[in-house]
Structure 1
Amino acid sequence: MNSVARQMIWKQLNCIGGIRTITTFTRFHEYLSIRRQQAVKSLLIQVTNLNSAQEVRTYLQSNFGPLQALYHYSIPKKGKGASVPSPVSSQTSGDYHWLLAEFEDPQSARECIAKCRHADGTLPFNSSMCWYRQPKSSKKQRRQKVDDGVAAEDEFPEIFSERLEGQTSPPDYRKVKTLSEQLKVLEASSKLSELGIRARFFVASQLELAFANLFPRGCVLPFGSTVSGIGRQSGDLDLVLVPDSSEIFTETDANNNAELLGGGKEGDDGRLYYQSKLFTANSSNARFQAQRVMETMADVIQLFVPGCTHVQRILQARVPILRFWSEFTDLQCDLSMTNASGVHMSELIYIMSQLEPRFPTLLFAIRSWASARKITNPVPGRQPTNFMFVLLLIYFLQKRQLLPTLDILFNNAGIKDQRVTVDGIDCSFLRDKEQIMKHFSPQTQGESAAELLFDFFEFYSEFDFNSKGVSLVTGSSWGKPDTGPLYIQNPLERHLNVARNVSKEEVIRFKSECCSALWKLETSWNSIHHSDKNSSTSGSSSPTLHDLLLTPTLDSGSSSRSPGASAQDQRFQIKELFTK
């Protein structure tokens, strides 16, 4: 990417405090590169309270260089993490306070880190995470210094403040009238904020820095909903350590990222090679080797990386992971090493969210509905996962000819689109939006998000899961290759069934809940969708989105009947209502 194009993207992404809107399509690897650069130029600083922010801003800009963005956030002291061991925490009452400061120049960040000191009684470890010590001068002197300032630009950037909590109060849907507007309110209140995105990339950056000597060509990347445009503020953080960043980035971007991180690109004409251990990704002992490496990584995280606690080694899973808690950002993190295909799958979803603007709106509603009705479960098991609902929504929009089938992307991939992971998974697909639109013309029927949500429930309430599977590659249903209750083909590893663990009872209950949601929307559609025409009031008497779809359900175990029987009875009653 040339300098002019990069400057254009920077203007889109950096609006005083961060992202506001992205008006043009930004390719996924460019988006990742920019977010990683933001993280490298950032410091996470623990402070006493919000009042310290202006003083820290003045100190940073007067000593090291101008700031690009500055965010304040607080974390409640209660929670999964232990108390943060620093002199600041002993002075703070109520919450822990943090500043995430991004410099304009990466050199300024490096100089600032070089000036950091190690506190007595701690393990010396260099990172971009620190705490701010108040100067010994009196309050009056500090106030005078801030008032005098070093320059008028110290007032920039504006300090954005936020409280990081997993649970937030539900939005007030009665402020808007139509169901489509309420869906947008739900999306705006649930989606990952700019600070949330930056915090997640910052965690990845710190792990990458910790493993830099072990994996000099590697990178640590967030994947999943965090990077695909559908992240929620309450979501966990999925991370992958890619030993060779060329699996994800082009050679040019990989070299640019290496230079930004303080390294250099490898020469292509040298005659000297590093002595290194062999890493045999496709051999019989590759899994064992990866597990042993991850054991070492777990020790590094537990013993050295500040703010990382409660490290769990879940190494016998199909994809081995390390689970830990990031106290400084209040995030549960899952780190894998052999899951580069997860980043490419995230890119596919990212492309879909760029091609169809109603896709994120619908997905936030469907995931919230599934969570409220206890169709999904955060712990993998017999119930569907959020990822399955992402694929089901894409398939539905493909059937409506609003999104392209994935074979269009796979069959038209160019040379620059070629990606193959070290374990042999072909992740080559067309990545340029303009090129995609040459092969696919979406239907422009003008349905609202509410109408599409109605059709989604209708579509899957009638879908024959018993005999048909779902394929996003062809965009069509097909005879299931196995006898499992639910078959959703993995788009990248096509021999795998994403829903292989889902039970028959849960599939029946999913269809039953679709019927119930469809009936509720059907009976109240006119009062919500046309309230602005039928009433001069605000429509406060009409059922809201929460009343219709987001009312929590009771535990299924409270019923004396089996889940299957209950679902079948409910579906029969609802079908009778539709035939009247």
Structure 2
Amino acid sequence: PLFKDILRNRHNQAKRSVVIRTQNPEATVESLLTFGNLKHAHFTSQDKAYILAEFANEASITKLRQTAGFFSEPNQFPMRSRVLFDTSSRSAKKHRPLPQIDDVNWNGKSSQQYPLMDLLQQEVESLCTRRSLDDSDLRMRFFVCLQLEELLQSILPEAYILPFGSCLNGFGWWNSDLDMMLCFSKELCSPDMTAMQNGRFSNFRMLTETFGSNRMLAQTTLNMVSSLLQLVPRVHHVSRILNARVPIIRFKHMAVNLDCDISLQATDSIKMTELLYLYSVCDPRVRPLMAVIKQWAICHHLTAGGEQQKPTTIGILFMLLYYLQTRSPPVVPTLKKLQSYASTTEMFYIDDTLYGLPSKPSLIPRSQNTETIDNLLHGFFTFYSEFDFKNNAISVIEGSTFSKPADATAVYIENPLSLGLNICRNVAGGQLSNFIAAMKDAASKLEALNVKQETSKKTPLSKLSFLFSTNHDSGNLEPVQISELFSDADLIVDSESNDGKDNDNLTDQVSNQSSHVA
């Protein structure tokens, strides 16, 4: 699907949706049906306390919100929103069949078990499917965007809350944070108000306050937004991070269990999301490869969390993209090649640099590369365990390296949409050494697995369990022979791996807002 179509369809879907705090799910669904037909309903968390329901049309939402009252409580702020409480606790009468409430497989999404399958590729693709955002995840994210959008439209009638980053770029996981930007107009990425309204209005203009810089505008605007968020039902832990290079507001939406960030409109952020989306769909091997590399890095504690000197997920993603560009033939095109597929109407400027991205993924020719996921994965670990990080910087624009700036940190990956910025500027030399050592070990493990497959020896231990294991996990892994590692167990739990919330969006990383991935 087209990137803009995803945005439009999900936004319209959210406009037909409501979140209900329920005491009796079946009774709640039966009550909702009195306002119109339901197209979809699912629980937003494992405790089944909230239901996100989509009606067949917006008129049902309007009717429901108009009839909803308020609790008789002192000191309440009587805000009308899309988050409601069903006071009914009666059993459903079931005069007619009720729509099923989808129960999300939360355990499957977060499971640290990696089932044994015949091929490594099958295990990798299964992991990717389990971890990736599904329909319910996207519904909840766009719902939050719409709730905030409606809050702000009372003072900014054309305001639009646009999600970006992991929830749209194709590489997000089910537990990724929600990144949003406040746009002053529904015309995406058009901050020039004068240009937008040419020919639309008379000679009269609104008197407005102006600020000395975009940063001051962002700080003042977000300060106002944070105050309003304090009044939104089920929005907690609102915090201002206004002194970061890119100011943000961070909060927790309890009804859908999402950690959220909101910033001011930025063309590079949404265009970076669109760029990565094109890469995620241009070849079916890209997303599974990123999923297994990301999980491997998490299991080995190689990605940035509490320590900010480690590589971030976005850095690893661009390492993968560059590696895939260098294959012969390439698996994915360079940014320069992508631009050649864009029409003149799809061109845009960022910091006076002209770019172009084709809106239709189908315009990107299919890769002639026929390598398997297994081979590409092994090649990734081998490629970077031998890469000259000391002297070379990486560019996905050209699909080549260039001389590393003298003052650069241990790893230099050029931000393709913010030239001069290093996506991996936080990585320290010691952490890079750990990363390289882990990649050498991973390459050796994949070679051992390949030997096992060629000799047709049965390996009850799943291949991903072996790849993700560390010496710290299991003290007997290192002393024994490879053949001794495989027992009769069908599954192994990786006690050191974790699927906790990604921390790519901490303050230091926020300065590269266009690089959010999750």
Fold conserved between structures, TM > 0.5? yes
Cα pair distance change 1:295/1:486, threshold 3 Å: same
Alignment partner of 1:431 is 2:431: no
Superposition pairs for residues 179-198 of structure 1, below 5 Å?
179-198=120-139
Cα displacement string for residues 154-202 of structure 1 (whole angstroms, at most 9, x for unaligned residues): 544x32112658982323422x122111112211221122211111111
Measured in 2, the distance between the counterparts of 1:501 and 1:444 equals: 33
Superposition pairs for residues 19-30 of structure 1, below 5 Å?
26-30=1-5
Aligned to 1:39: 14
Aligned mate of 2:119, from 170, 178, 196: 178
Tell me which amino acid in the other structure corresponds to 1:414. S
Cα pair distance change 1:414/1:462, threshold 3 Å: same
Cα pair distance change 1:163/1:449, threshold 3 Å: closer
Tell me which amino acid in the other structure corresponds to 2:56. E
- Gaps of at least 5 residues in structure 1 are 1-25, 76-94, 251-264, 555-580
Measured in 2, the distance between the counterparts of 1:276 and 1:325 equals: 35
Aligned to 2:49: 97
Aligned to 1:133: 87
Cα pair distance change 1:338/1:310, threshold 3 Å: same
Aligned to 1:215: 156
Aligned to 1:456: 380
Higher relative contact order structure (alpha carbons within 8 Å, sequence separation ≥ 6): 2
- Structure 1 residue 546, shift from structure 2 partner: 1.5
Secondary structure in structure 2 of the residue aligned to 1:342: helix
Measured in 1, the distance between the counterparts of 2:239 and 2:386 equals: 42
- Gaps of at least 5 residues in structure 2 are 474-518
> Are the aligned partners of 1:242 and 1:337 in contact in 2 as well (CA < 8 Å)?
yes
Measured in 2, the distance between the counterparts of 1:292 and 1:96 equals: 38
Measured in 2, the distance between the counterparts of 1:247 and 1:427 equals: 16
Alignment partner of 1:471 is 2:395: yes
Measured in 2, the distance between the counterparts of 1:269 and 1:332 equals: 38
Aligned mate of 1:293, from 221, 228, 232: 221
Cα displacement string for residues 416-468 of structure 1 (whole angstroms, at most 9, x for unaligned residues): 313446x767553222223333xxx52232x2212211111011111111111
TM-score, normalising length from structure 2? 0.83
> Are the aligned partners of 1:358 and 1:449 in contact in 2 as well (CA < 8 Å)?
yes
- Structure 1 residue 380, shift from structure 2 partner: 7.0
Cα pair distance change 1:449/1:287, threshold 3 Å: same
RMSD of aligned Cα (Å): 2.7
Aligned mate of 2:33, from 61, 66, 71: 61
Aligned mate of 1:508, from 430, 433, 439: 433
Aligned to 1:418: 347
Aligned to 2:501: none
Measured in 1, the distance between the counterparts of 2:139 and 2:436 equals: 38
> Are the aligned partners of 1:73 and 1:164 in contact in 2 as well (CA < 8 Å)?
no
Measured in 2, the distance between the counterparts of 1:420 and 1:213 equals: 31
Aligned to 1:345: 272
Secondary structure in structure 2 of the residue aligned to 1:313: strand
Secondary structure in structure 1 of the residue aligned to 2:380: helix
Cα pair distance change 1:399/1:204, threshold 3 Å: same
Aligned to 1:393: 320
Aligned mate of 1:548, from 441, 457, 467: 467
Aligned mate of 1:246, from 184, 187, 194: 187
- Structure 1 residue 381, shift from structure 2 partner: 1.9
Cα pair distance change 1:542/1:161, threshold 3 Å: closer
Aligned to 2:45: 74
Cα pair distance change 1:492/1:287, threshold 3 Å: same
- Structure 1 residue 294, shift from structure 2 partner: 0.9
Cα pair distance change 1:416/1:230, threshold 3 Å: same
> Are the aligned partners of 1:373 and 1:552 in contact in 2 as well (CA < 8 Å)?
no
Superposition pairs for residues 327-342 of structure 1, below 5 Å?
327-342=254-269
Cα pair distance change 1:33/1:249, threshold 3 Å: farther
Measured in 2, the distance between the counterparts of 1:60 and 1:220 equals: 27
Tell me which amino acid in the other structure corresponds to 1:346. T
Secondary structure in structure 1 of the residue aligned to 2:420: coil
Aligned to 1:255: none
Cα pair distance change 1:163/1:518, threshold 3 Å: closer
Superposition pairs for residues 138-153 of structure 1, below 5 Å?
143=92, 145-146=93-94, 148-149=95-96
Cα displacement string for residues 452-498 of structure 1 (whole angstroms, at most 9, x for unaligned residues): 11111011111111111110000011111343211101011112111
Cα pair distance change 1:516/1:269, threshold 3 Å: closer
> Are the aligned partners of 2:17 and 2:143 in contact in 1 as well (CA < 8 Å)?
yes
Cα pair distance change 1:172/1:287, threshold 3 Å: closer
Tell me which amino acid in the other structure corresponds to 1:129. V
- Structure 1 residue 544, shift from structure 2 partner: 2.6
Cα displacement string for residues 118-143 of structure 1 (whole angstroms, at most 9, x for unaligned residues): 222221111111011217xxx5xx55
Select the structure that is richer in helix.
Answer: 1
Secondary structure in structure 1 of the residue aligned to 2:356: coil
Measured in 1, the distance between the counterparts of 2:109 and 2:432 equals: 28
Tell me which amino acid in the other structure corresponds to 2:343. G
Measured in 1, the distance between the counterparts of 2:275 and 2:142 equals: 19
Tell me which amino acid in the other structure corresponds to 2:81. S
Cα displacement string for residues 338-367 of structure 1 (whole angstroms, at most 9, x for unaligned residues): 434212111111111110111110111011
> Are the aligned partners of 1:171 and 1:186 in contact in 2 as well (CA < 8 Å)?
no
Tell me which amino acid in the other structure corresponds to 1:507. L
The count of aligned residue pairs is 465
> Are the aligned partners of 2:145 and 2:180 in contact in 1 as well (CA < 8 Å)?
yes
> Are the aligned partners of 1:164 and 1:330 in contact in 2 as well (CA < 8 Å)?
no
Cα displacement string for residues 281-333 of structure 1 (whole angstroms, at most 9, x for unaligned residues): xxx4331222111111111001x111111111111111111111111111111
Measured in 1, the distance between the counterparts of 2:141 and 2:158 equals: 21
- Structure 1 residue 214, shift from structure 2 partner: 2.9
Aligned mate of 1:499, from 389, 404, 424: 424
Cα displacement string for residues 221-277 of structure 1 (whole angstroms, at most 9, x for unaligned residues): 221111111211222111111222323489xxxxxxxxxxxxxx9894542645241
Tell me which amino acid in the other structure corresponds to 1:171. Q
> Are the aligned partners of 1:472 and 1:489 in contact in 2 as well (CA < 8 Å)?
yes
Cα pair distance change 1:328/1:427, threshold 3 Å: farther
- Structure 1 residue 207, shift from structure 2 partner: 0.9
Aligned mate of 2:143, from 202, 218, 226: 202
Secondary structure in structure 2 of the residue aligned to 1:291: helix
Aligned mate of 1:271, from 195, 202, 227: 202
Sequence identity (%): 28
Measured in 1, the distance between the counterparts of 2:267 and 2:72 equals: 40
Cα displacement string for residues 6-47 of structure 1 (whole angstroms, at most 9, x for unaligned residues): xxxxxxxxxxxxxxxxxxxx1111111111111111000010
Tell me which amino acid in the other structure corresponds to 1:218. A
Secondary structure in structure 2 of the residue aligned to 1:523: helix
> Are the aligned partners of 1:171 and 1:185 in contact in 2 as well (CA < 8 Å)?
no
